[in-house]
Structure 1
Amino acid sequence: MHQVSPEMKACIDDCLACYAECLSSAMGHCLEMGGKHTEPAHFKLMMACAEICRTSAHFMLIGTEHHRHTCRECAEICSQCADDCERVGDMQACVDACRRCAESCRKMAA
């Protein structure tokens, strides 16, 4: 097992938390609410966010240097997703998880 720094461990945790939050919010809250919660652009962004978070966590866990690239992209998508969830409204848990993950991933990408 490669050495995982405390910062990387925190980023993995933030990525996995954001993955779970985006996926469960989309599949539960958004599908139940309908309307702007299920607009294709919003829904696809949430799915993309969940997937890049999962991928970034995976790359850090396996210890590949490529995590810098996935984390850079993850930070960008998480920021977009946070803004969009804020626009849609009534999605504060998702907004918070995305912002936290974006911040962690920016540090890992640096």
Structure 2
Amino acid sequence: MHQMSTEMQSCIDDCQRCHGVCLSMAMNHCLEAGGRHVEPEHFRLMIACAEICQTSANFMLMGSDLHKRTCAVCAEVCEECARSCEQVGDMQECVDACRRCAESCRKMAA
């Protein structure tokens, strides 16, 4: 098994948390709230964010050298998702998880 840095383990944790928060909020909070919360662009972005976070975590867990690329994309998608959730409103947990993940992924992508 490959040795994992503390920074990478922290990024994996942030990615997994963001995945869970985005997926849960999309499927529960957004679907129940309706209106702006389920507009296609916002809803797709939340699901895309959950998926790229899971993928980035998986790439790091496998020890793939390509994790830098997935993390770069993940940081970009997380930032976009945070902005969208902020605009929709009443989604601070998602905003915070996305921003934390974006910051961790930027470090991994460098």
Could you say which TM-score interval applies, normalised by the shorter chain?
Answer: over 0.9
Separation of aligned partners in 2, 1:49 and 1:106: 15
Unaligned runs of 5+ in 2: none
Partner of 2:34: 34
Normalising to structure 1: TM-score of the pair? 1.00
Aligned ranges 1:62-73 → 2 under 5 Å: 62-73=62-73
Partner of 2:47: 47
Structure 1 segments of 4+ aligned residues over 6 angstroms from their partners? none
The 3-state SS of whatever aligns with 1:2 is coil
Aligned ranges 1:82-93 → 2 under 5 Å: 82-93=82-93
Partner of 2:75: 75
Separation of aligned partners in 1, 2:94 and 2:2: 31
1:58 corresponds to 2:65 = no
| Per-residue deviation, residues 50-88 of structure 1 (Å, max 9, x unmatched) | 000000000000000000000000000000000000000
Normalising to structure 2: TM-score of the pair? 1.00
The 3-state SS of whatever aligns with 2:22 is helix
The Cα RMSD (Å) is 0.2
Structure 1 residue 100: Cα displacement: 0.1
Q: How many residues align?
A: 110
Structure 1 residue 28: Cα displacement: 0.2
Please tell me the residue identity of whatever aligns with 2:94. Answer: C
What is the aligned-residue identity percentage? 69
Please tell me the residue identity of whatever aligns with 1:39. Answer: E
Structure 1 residue 38: Cα displacement: 0.1
